[in-house]
Chains A and B, each alone.
Chain A
């Protein structure tokens, strides 16, 4: 369907509606950017001061001064990339197993995985926290990454996608002497690239924006992720005197996501469209 939408066929009214929608979407981001470029003292009581100059980069300079922001950024990157890589690997392997292999209790196990979709993370937070405490994994990268690897949605998603790939391909490869691993790695995985992209995008964004688990697992400042760090950095009541600095941190935190989107824009849009159509 996406391919059938031709360029240049929008009416002026359509363009106007789209422009208005885009403006509404972009306005909060622009507002954040303008606030980040203002002197903090000027914003006390006058946040509309952001609409006119003078502007300054002092809030951004402060981030690179002596702040932990870059460390939090690194932590977020490690955790988000680690979780994304882990989920893709595990979900692909599990999906292949459920889609292609016959083994005892396969259906029962798949139902158990599906049940995981119905269990909110808050419901298991206490035993999960206890377990990680027992393993001495709090305040560590494994402690932040591992819980995110439990991804029933990813397994379900990859299983469904792989079931849609004709088995003839596997059989033809087998006739040529390919092993199970070769079939998985050389044939199935490349064919699931659109699904992998979709899952990667969802997992990365979820891990990058996660607040709840890092809040209680990373209890030392140097292990905070950006979401927790930025919340901790708020320095006073109702953010009356550090608004510009906070906004600069938010802009800084969103830059990696922005870059990822710009670089992988086509893949992301294709993945989203594919996911929607499937």
Chain B
């Protein structure tokens, strides 16, 4: 018993040991998973794959190239905001954090994030080099609140073999619709000729997907989703039109039903439908399938931004950024953060290999980027991408509420006006409670 107690005390003491080096330490908190087993000791960014592999090797490389600085990495469960909020409440936030653009306002409007203008200037990064989508994603008022790192949004992932069978290929490219009526017509043609659904949909447990569809096609028609910081407007003629369109797809059996995200991914990978509308983050996995002989997607994969169905070519997007929580820091730590910004900006191309759209115009125009599979096709997302207004707080929670109600409308669980009205009521209640 005594031995156990002594061992326990020794372990407790061990856990409290302090560092003894003379480096400037920066605490970085990120999601994207933990893959130390595969990339823990690697600085070979060129050979790293996937979000986790690339970010891990990038940080390893930064540490290797900056012997006077050490980035201590803390990997959090996606998206990591409960932990960040707790850390801020404890007045011990990290120095650098990965944050979605839509979440910045939650923290920045309370003074919990530093404007990063000084760091950008110190790193020699010009905001003029940010893509339109990235710049609006990190700007509140006259300040930037993060280093934009990518733009991500919905894409139409296409099975070109099935499209060819459906007679919907021209000059080696899939023919995508240019209006809602055209989409319905093409979907019917696809269904008749292939016997498979045109759309693969994940409408179960994927509120983000449903919200993305609703936001995108309402924004394309210049709908004002948030007339002020406290209210959302969805139950409008435009909102009803968009939701009814997605409802019609299900009524006409032109899309899969009762699928969650893993089910939809499996269905697309197994060639069970023509188009799977999901995000930039799936390009890597699908491309791998397209390069594997014998798989249903082998040499049969293409991907594009959402097609224009009404109004303008606009798409709801978000993006990953690096933000700097407010706290006391030494001049050396500030300088180290600026150096990190410079390093990450210089390696934005490496990150773009994940499938996300670069945050910098120079990378977007880089021939290396354009030579990556499908990137020339999806690059327009950087220009057509739109976020929610920066004065809207709790965008992530709102997306969940809107997505639940939108999915209920699309699947027929609720009438379209009822679902949109319920979404408005729930979101307005949420926003009404904020200071």
Contacts and interface: CB of A to CB of B under 8 A. Distances in A.
Interface stretch (B73-81, B103-111, B142-150, B212-220): B73-81
A132 B90 CA distance: 8
Given A44-B269, A130-B89, A223 B15 contact: yes
A73 interface: no
Interface stretch (B34-42, B330-338, B376-384, B391-399): B34-42
B289 A44 contact: yes
Contacts of B20: none
Interface stretch (B166-174, B258-266, B298-306, B314-322): B258-266
Contact of A133 (B37, B73, B89, B279): B89
Nearest to A142: B12
Contacts of B41: 66
A238 interface: yes
B83 interface: yes
Contacts of A232: 31, 33-34, 75-77
B262 A215 contact: no
A129 B75 contact: no
Nearest to A43: B266
A219 B86 contact: yes
Interface stretch (B280-288, B402-410, B414-422): B280-288
Contacts of A236: 32-33, 50-52, 281, 285
A194 to B, nearest CB: 20
Nearest to B87: A219
Interface in A115-133: 126, 129-130, 132-133
Contacts of A74: 11
Interface stretch (A28-36, A184-192, A196-204, A239-247): A239-247
Nearest to B27: A220
A266 interface: no
B285 A44 contact: yes
Given A133-B92, A141-B12, A215-B82, A62 B279 contact: no
A82 B33 contact: no
Interface in A201-244: 215-217, 219-221, 223, 228-229, 231-242
B135 to A, nearest CB: 25
B99 to A, nearest CB: 15
Contacts of B265: 44-45, 238, 240
Contacts of B282: 237, 240
Given A232-B77, A233-B75, A236-B52, A129 B34 contact: no
A62 B82 CA distance: 28
> What DSSP secondary structure best describes chain B's contact surface?
helix
A233 B73 CA distance: 13
A78 interface: yes
B8 interface: yes
Nearest to A75: B15
Contacts of B262: 47, 238-240
B319 to A, nearest CB: 15
B86 A216 contact: yes
| Residue from B35, B78, B92, B270 with most neighbouring chain A CB atoms (10 Å) | B35
A138 B85 CA distance: 14
A237 B82 contact: no
A67 B92 contact: no
Given A141-B12, A221-B75, A233-B34, A241 B91 contact: no
Given A129-B86, A242-B33, A215 B52 contact: no
A140 interface: yes
A41 interface: yes
A68 interface: yes
A63 interface: yes
A46 interface: yes
A132 B268 CA distance: 48
A215 B83 contact: yes
A65 interface: yes
B435 interface: no
A68 B83 contact: no
A217 B33 CA distance: 19
Contacts of B51: 235-236
Interface string A79-116: 00110000000000000000000000000000000000
Contacts of A241: 50, 285
Contact of B83 (A81, A142, A219): A219
A133 B15 contact: no
B30 to A, nearest CB: 10
A181 to B, nearest CB: 17
Contacts of B76: 219, 232
28 contacts: A45-B268, A62-B37, A62-B38, A66-B36, A74-B11, A126-B89, A129-B89, A141-B11, A215-B77, A215-B83, A215-B86, A216-B86, A220-B72, A221-B74, A232-B34, A232-B75, A233-B75, A235-B52, A236-B50, A236-B281, A237-B279, A238-B262, A238-B265, A239-B262, A240-B282, A240-B285, A242-B33, A245-B37
Given A66-B38, A236-B32, A236-B51, 5 more contacts: A46-B266, A133-B92, A215-B83, A235-B50, A237-B279
Interface of B: 8, 11-12, 15-16, 27, 29, 31-38, 40-41, 50-52, 72-78, 82-83, 85-87, 89-92, 94, 261-262, 265-266, 268-270, 279, 281-282, 285, 288-289
Interface of A: 41, 44-47, 62-63, 65-68, 74, 78, 81-82, 126, 129-130, 132-133, 138, 140-142, 215-217, 219-221, 223, 228-229, 231-242, 245
